Amino acid sequence: MSGLRMRLRRHDPERSAAEYVSGELPRRAVRWFESHLLDCEDCWREVLLGRIGRTLAEDVREPVPVGLRDRVRATVHLAGGSRRTRDIGSSGEER
Amino acid sequence: MTNDHDAFLRATMGCMDLVYNLSRRLVRGREEAEDLAQDTYLAAFRAWQDHRRPRRVEPWLATICLNLARSRYRARSRRPIEVELEEGATAAGLDDPETAALASLDRAALHAAMWRLSEEQRVAITLVDLAGLSTAEAAKVMDTPRGTVLSRLHRGRRALAELLEDTIQEVER
């Protein structure tokens, strides 16, 4: 979206902040929006809260528990094996 | 012959972090989240065996995880909030002026704050901010327009920030 199209669009601080904080505004729209931020209290506040919220959300990331990867591998191998056995068993030969 | 499961695991195991963290925000307990992650991989493998293979693995696994959680775990997850405390875990790595103020908050408080959001907001935040999906990809996963995802995403972020705003103001004073 160009800066011009952004200017013509209805003023929507929430949507603009969401796109800006997510890094999804095209470069030209970013330039326009960043200069707009200097004059618009509403957009400034939404961007500030959006940035804090995003940082917090990223920080809640948890490491994968020890053993889960092995459990998943074992489950998948077992499922692959049981299906193969079923396929061989039902048709008399391997598919 | 290359085993199906080897090819599947090669393609998907790098997404375990995404699947587990999404699971943690869809069901309450840690063990339940591990079960959901495991079930997600199993369901994905069955689809893989049926030659339903995605162009991009991350949104595909996220969709399976979300659908499984909705169909099988929703009733169980309506229990009262129980937050698992991780003593000593802090919100480290916040290096800009506003968010550095939050460094003293522990992870349990953040996790509890996440669970005060609506499910739609929590899922949007997890898919975009944690899993790194674009809002267009998250819209497909959530089967909703992109504009709705942007709105849920922003309101969720804002709610998280506001829940903790008192702390910020105290530090700024």
**Average pLDDT rounded to a whole number, residues A8-16:** 81
Chain B CB contacts of A22 under 8 Å are 128, 134-135, 150, 153
Residue B7 CB-half CA count within 13 A: 9
**Which of B34, B29, B22, B38 minimizes the C-alpha distance to B122?**
B22
Nearest chain B CA: its distance from A6 CA (Å): 15
Instruction: Write down the pTM of the prediction.
Output: 0.74
CB contact under 8 A, A62 and B20: yes
Cα B27 to Cα B70: distance, rounded to the nearest angstrom: 10
Sign of CA dihedral B22, B27, B30, B33: negative
pLDDT attached to residue B128: 93
- If phi > 0 it is left, if psi is from -120 to 50 it is alpha, else beta; for residue A86 that is alpha
CB distance B79 to B122 below 8 Å: no
**Which of B55, B15, B59 minimizes the C-alpha distance to B37?**
B15
**Which of B64, B38, B66, B36 minimizes the C-alpha distance to B126?**
B66
pLDDT attached to residue B33: 94
CB contact under 8 A, B126 and A57: yes
> Which three-class secondary structure state does DSSP give residue B75?
coil
**pLDDT score of B144 more than 90:** yes
Tens-place pLDDT, residues B41-56: 999 999 999 888 888 9
Q: Which helix (H) or strand (E) holds B125?
A: helix B119-125
Residues in contact with B2: Cβ distance below 8 Å, sequence separation at least 6, in sequence order? none
Residues in contact with B90: Cβ distance below 8 Å, sequence separation at least 6, in sequence order? B103, B104, B105, B106, B107
Packing angle, helices B30-49 and B4-12, rounded to 10: 130
Chain A CB contacts of B130 under 8 Å are 57-58, 60-61
Percentage of residues in chain A with pLDDT exceeding 70?
76
pLDDT attached to residue B98: 54
Q: At A12, is the pLDDT very low, low, confident or very high (cuts 50, 70, 90)?
A: confident
**Average pLDDT rounded to a whole number, residues B148-171:** 81
**pLDDT score of B131 more than 50:** yes
Q: ∠ CA B167-B159-B117 to the nearest 5 degrees?
A: 120
B162 versus A75: the higher-pLDDT residue is A75
What's the token pair of residue B55? 């162009």
Residue B112 CB-half CA count within 13 A: 14
The owner of tokens 């909030």 is: B81
Model ipTM value:
0.73
pLDDT attached to residue A9: 66
What's the token pair of residue A8? 């013509």
- H helices of chain A, where? 3-8, 13-21, 27-37, 41-59, 68-91
Tens-place pLDDT, residues A81-93: 765 555 544 444 4
Nearest chain A CA: its distance from B75 CA (Å): 24
User: Of A7-16, A57-66, B23-32, B141-150, where does mean pLDDT reach its minimum?
Assistant: A7-16
CB contact under 8 A, A53 and B126: no
Find the residue in B nearest to A59 (Cα). B91
Nearest chain B CA: its distance from A94 CA (Å): 12
Query: Which of B24, B65, B129, B151 best probes binding to A when mutated, by most A CB atoms within 10 angstroms?
Result: B129
Residues in contact with B44: Cβ distance below 8 Å, sequence separation at least 6, in sequence order? B8, B12, B60, B61, B64
Chain A CB contacts of B114 under 8 Å are 57, 60
CB contact under 8 A, A49 and B157: yes
Nearest chain B CA: its distance from A89 CA (Å): 17
The answer to whether B9 faces chain A, any CB pair under 8 Å, is yes
Chain B CB contacts of A15 under 8 Å are 147, 150-151, 154
Tens-place pLDDT, residues B56-108: 999 999 999 999 998 876 555 554 444 343 433 334 444 454 555 555 566 77
